[in-house]
Amino acid sequence: MAYDIYLHNRSAQCLAELSSAKERAVIKLCCNARVFTFEQGKKIQQAFSELFLDEQKRFIEYLNLDGIHERP
């Protein structure tokens, strides 16, 4: 999918890799926050990791919905 390629390219700018649902959610947050550097990506990643685990889980589930077959 073109969107997966886009996320992969953005993850190369902001994060080390894009291999899990959590990392996919974090990179989507980076996209929404218009983050383009590794340093800024680390700040988003750090803020995400400081959330309670149930909050992280809800973010991960919500941000990984495809909007077609799965909707909030």
On the question of pLDDT at 4 being above 90, the answer is no
Mapping DSSP onto H, E and C, the string for 5-66 reads HHHHHHHHHHCCCCCCHHHHHHHHHHHHCCCCCHHHHHHHHHHHHCCCHHHHHHHHHHHCCC
Number of independent structural domains in the chain: 1
**Which amino acid is located at 38 in the chain?**
F
Q: 19 pLDDT exceeds 90?
A: no
Helix axes 38-49, 2-14, angle to 10 degrees: 100
Does 68 map to a domain?
no
Name the residue with tokens 């902001």: 14
Domain that holds residue 6: 2-63
72 domain-assigned: no
Reported pTM: 0.82
pLDDT digits (tens, 9 = 90+) for 31-69: 999 999 999 999 999 999 999 999 999 999 999 987 677
pLDDT beyond 90 at 3: no
